[in-house]
Amino acid sequence: MTEYPTLLPRFLKYVQINSRSDENSTTVPSTKREKDFQKDVLMKELMDLGLKDVHYNEKSGCVIATIPSNIDYKVPVFGLLAHSDTADFNSVNVKPQITKNYDGKSKIRLGESEFYLDPEVFPHLKNYKGQTIISASGDTLLGGDDKCGISEIMTFAEYLMTHPEEKHGEIRIAFTPDEEIGTGAQHFDVDEFNADFAYTVDGEAPGKLDWGTFSAAQFSLDIQGVNVHPAVAKGQMINAIQVGIDFQNSLPQNEVPEKTDGKEGFFHLMNFEGTVDSAHLDYIIRDFERQGLEERKNLVKSIVKKMNEELGSERIKLKMWDQYYNMADELKKHMEIVDLAREAYKAEGLTINEDPVRGGTDGSQLTYMGLPTPNLFAGEENMHGRFEYTVLESMWKAVDVLRQINKLNVERNK
């Protein structure tokens, strides 16, 4: 494993910049802070490193750049992508903390808070004995998802630009917005990117290789009740809160995230706001099989229809839309890309974990847009909350893998 001295300071700089997305926004990107991070920080650094055609695509909210070829023959152009936004958790005043030479058994206190990274709660911590753990202060997320990936891609680019003896063809880089709210790839210009294939660098522990994801949909319910005085409510009141509870109770009670794993799908209630007069509920639906997703969507529609019939009018208004589909269905046609990553992992001594990811990546959408895009590990752990952490050695290894993919791509196509 190679040590990359600029990776840690780069990562620490990035995570202290608030770039959280906003699912309620209608702009691209969804927040000005994302755009500022993209244009003021990432674009400038790419230019300083000497990459070519560094620009910001106003339509997609993406920073695009090219590592120019230093060989005299053509090889397939591959792309590397990571997202610049962070998840729906406090991201203001992130204070990263470093635990060096972790003993593999102790609790790590998060700043001065009451919260700890406890290996009895998070057993994967035990895998990192002797390594460097980077966490936050207990009141924010860390932002490793996906500033790990950004740091690794940037460090990889820096390495190639400063080591001309390492041969490579053209390599495209893109930093995307709004992945955490599921819209980051919707406006991506695949033709402009002009790569033969790509990888997102947005996965978990070393060895994780994602080429199968959930298929996903989202829906919301707006419920209109009838609010009258409780003293005369009989036969008149329709309590919108209770209607929402009744809907939730009509779904399969064991098919929720906290009771499923592996390839089991779920319904997930993410938000419930309401009064007697009106209520609003937000859900996501996940299933690895496309047919399974359709069956879940149809179940929701049938419950809403039945409840409205019982209520005597359309008290429940349903909005539903698809988000992305299992990229395995398309990547099965491009397994040479997965095989390239597998070979790179093996060359770096990694045990490969190809369990389907219980989520999605920008690659889920990009693959269906004509850019086959599996997902590589970035070293992220406990994503989307105060217990998020990453491991410096995992991030170094991710850069090694990127170099190995490049090496194999060049050697295969001489």
* Residues carrying an active site annotation: 85, 179
Q: Is the peptide bond before 206 cis (omega within 30 degrees of 0)?
A: no
**Strand pairing class (215-224; 209-210):** unpaired
Of 113, 246, 196, 386, residue with least CA distance to 238: 246
- What contacts 328, CB < 8 A, 6 or more positions away? 211, 212, 213, 356
Q: Is the peptide bond before 146 cis (omega within 30 degrees of 0)?
A: yes
Work out the number of other CB atoms within 10 angstroms of the CB of residue 310.
Answer: 10
Supply the angle between the helices 240-250 and 290-311 in degrees, to the nearest 10.
Answer: 140
Residue identified by tokens 């919260």 is 115
Cβ proximity of 411 and 403 under 8 Å: no
Cβ proximity of 337 and 319 under 8 Å: no
- What contacts 81, CB < 8 A, 6 or more positions away? 149, 153, 173, 174, 175, 176, 198, 199, 200, 201, 202, 362, 363, 366, 373
Bridge partners of residue 394, in order along the sequence: none
Cβ proximity of 151 and 395 under 8 Å: yes
Q: How far apart are CA 207 and CA 348, in angstroms?
A: 10
Backbone dihedral region for residue 138 (phi beyond 0: left; psi -120 to 50: alpha; all else: beta):
left
